[in-house]
Structure 1
Amino acid sequence: MTDETPRLTEAPARKALGQHFLFDPDILRRTALASGPVEGRTVIEVGPGPGGLTRALLNEGVAKLICVEADERFANALETWPEAAEGRLHVYQHDARKINWTSIIEESGGTLPAMIVANLPYNVGTPLLVDWLKTGDWRGEMALMFQKEVAERIVAGPGTPHYGRLAVLTHAVCDAHIAFTLPPGAFRPPPKVDSAVAVLTPLAPDRRFADLDTLEKVSTAAFGQRRKMLRASLKALAKTRGIDATTWLESCNIDPTARAETLTQDEFRALATYLGNAG
């Protein structure tokens, strides 16, 4: 097959699926390689649409490319590509939020850890990322296109405007940075906001925090009332475990009058560990 994307690229985007397509070969190649070389790797792509990024990934030598596409128009077209017949390209017409990822990697003959490279549909990007952060060792490096504001929330650090639950969860298991940003005009149809590729690299096992479910509960409660002091924002969560919020915070060497945006990753981990042990 040539470097051209399939003729179905002219099919209109479906707003209900959050579709915004990229066609520029240079941008597609930058996205494909944003988290590192893909040659010889198993790569997952969610929402391939007309296949521009799919083509870029195949051109860069992926060993197995697993595409999950909810839109039957594009899933059917990708299944006609020569790489599908050859066994390099595996297409699943499915809702990505309901996929058993380890099963489809095994079924396709892929190897672990699998990279994830995707121009994510805007309406499912954040929940997919949270699920992937929690899933463990099958997932390797990720290069994911989001709305710019979402990407900023993923990579944010303490004391910055975008710091919140998503950053706390991300940095519990990954290093993260923004590789590049794109204006609306780079897409068809153009979205109303800028976009950005966030790159997430798994931390070494001894640097990861295991209990992301508890960490999510703590960070959600803390940032849910971010203008309040932590002793107030965490009060209800503490009560569910039969503990006092002030005692909990002081036991973790955290000022009960502090606010969520000031806490470091280590302090959130300490709070989650204490809460987990209390349960």
Structure 2
Amino acid sequence: MSTMQPILRSLPRLPAPNLWQSKFKGSRARGHLRVSVMTEDAADAAVKDMQISDHPQRSIIEIFPGPGQLTRSMVMAGAKKVITVESGETFQESLKALEQNSEGRIQHFAMNPLSDPFDEILLPEHTAIPGLKPQSWDKVHEDVMIVGSIPNSATGERVLHELLTASIQRMGVFRMGRVEMYMFCYKDAVQRLIAAPGMPPRNRVTLLAEAAAEITPLVRPGAAHFHLPYDYQLLRLVPHEKPKIETSVDVMDFCLRSLFTNKSHALNKVIKYERAHAIGSEFLGHPLLGPGAEILLGRLSFDHNIKVKHMTLDQLNEVALKFEQWPLRPTVLYDDMIMYESRRKR
């Protein structure tokens, strides 16, 4: 039986909040809205919600840690080890100082979390989490979890999308089992992730999240506790033992992308007509799901006059399953979709 490591008596404190603006210069440019936990109070409140002290044998992979305020609190609360994954140049000095003073409890990788680093950092030669073994999906993994502060940008949405997809496909760190996640996200992103049918924020990531994991909103400290000052909230995401998806992820994601381009319109109109764009209530172009896709409407068990934004996960699963079973469906799903989305952004 492994023995519990003693809690560290001290770790270097980070600069006072009034110094962060000059010490850790952030960018508000599109795609660079990096937001980090700034105050010890917020970090300690998050650690309490994560129940760090109840899992003394659990190591933590932390993505986008920023300067490491949350990192410090997790280690001080008794985390066995924290592996930080951060490529931001302005944060490296702070993270390395924490690593050097942590008695081996922090290991830093100057890597971009978007590069899917989990397989690499878990290689035996890195000894990031020695002895980590796969566990059954009938319970949450006891020895590892993921923590992060998600950028308030399209980059952040991509990170969430990739983590959720990886959990469904059991790839990356999810090869080890049912690894729970604690993520600080901007309040608008939180609303998108948990939006019920009919709510304006509901989009394809909402459905992917619903299919992948149980999501619980936790502490919301307030914008003053973050650098940059955005209203972030902590979420707990626990992958479902069995993902709530009836097709391959590629097919489901393609259908969601297609249908949610015009989520305020009826499903039958979107499937029949939407490709190029819509003018008023009239659609122009070719069907996004492919020529002849309207045949799928007669195979559905629910009223296809429903607006896409009101559809439940079960209904969208049914559409995706009928699409996957359709002999004449497009064999290449994403080339046309990428070209279409590029035209829309011009």
| Residues 1:36 and 1:249: Cα distance change in structure 2 (over 3 Å) | farther
Q: How far does the alpha carbon of each residue in 1:58-82 deviate from its partner, in whole angstroms, 9 at most, with x for none?
A: 1232233221112234224322335
C-alpha displacement of 1:252: 2.7
Structure 1: how far apart are the matches of 2:205 and 2:311? Answer: 14
1:163 equivalent in structure 2: 202
C-alpha displacement of 1:5: 2.7
Structure 2: how far apart are the matches of 1:25 and 1:47? Answer: 17
C-alpha displacement of 1:20: 3.0
C-alpha displacement of 1:128: 0.4
SS class of match (1:61)? coil
| Residues 1:77 and 1:269: Cα distance change in structure 2 (over 3 Å) | same
Structure 1 vs Structure 2 CA RMSD: 2.6
Structure 1: how far apart are the matches of 2:98 and 2:12? Answer: 11
Structure 1: how far apart are the matches of 2:220 and 2:145? Answer: 21
Structure 2: how far apart are the matches of 1:229 and 1:125? Answer: 30
Contact 1:68 1:94 (C-alpha < 8 Å) held by counterparts: yes
Structure 2: how far apart are the matches of 1:71 and 1:167? Answer: 28
Contact 2:184 2:234 (C-alpha < 8 Å) held by counterparts: yes
Q: Which range moved further: 208-217 or 97-106? A: 208-217
Pick from 8, 24, 38: which aligns with 1:12?
A: 24
SS class of match (2:185)? strand
Q: How far does the alpha carbon of each residue in 1:57-115 deviate from its partner, in whole angstroms, 9 at most, with x for none?
A: 11232233221112234224322335677443221112211133122133323535542
- Gaps spanning 5+ residues in structure 2: where? 1-8, 135-140, 273-286, 330-346
2:242 equivalent in structure 1: 205
**TM-score, length-scaled by structure 2:** 0.71
2:276 equivalent in structure 1: none
Structure 2: how far apart are the matches of 1:200 and 1:214? Answer: 23
- The number of residue pairs the alignment matches comes to 274
Pick from 289, 298, 302: which aligns with 1:238?
A: 289
| Residues 1:182 and 1:82: Cα distance change in structure 2 (over 3 Å) | closer
Pick from 75, 83, 91: which aligns with 1:58?
A: 75
**TM-score, length-scaled by structure 1:** 0.86
1:90 maps to 2:141: no
Runs in 1 of length 4+ with deviation above 6 angstroms? none
- Gaps spanning 5+ residues in structure 1: where? none
Pick from 109, 112, 117: which aligns with 2:147?
A: 117
| Residue correspondence of structure 1 range 1-279 to structure 2 within 5 A | 2=10, 4-7=12-15, 10=20, 11-15=23-27, 16=29, 17-37=32-52, 38-81=55-98, 86-106=103-123, 107=126, 108-109=128-129, 111=132, 113=141, 114-123=144-153, 124-136=155-167, 137=170, 138-139=173-174, 140-191=179-230, 194-205=231-242, 207=244, 211-235=248-272, 236-239=287-290, 243-245=292-294, 247-278=295-326, 279=329
SS class of match (2:219)? strand
| Residues 1:209 and 1:155: Cα distance change in structure 2 (over 3 Å) | farther
C-alpha displacement of 1:33: 4.5
One-letter amino acid of the structure 2 residue matched with residue 93 of structure 1: A
Contact 1:173 1:209 (C-alpha < 8 Å) held by counterparts: no
Question: Which of the two has higher C-alpha Rg?
Answer: 2
Contact 2:26 2:228 (C-alpha < 8 Å) held by counterparts: no
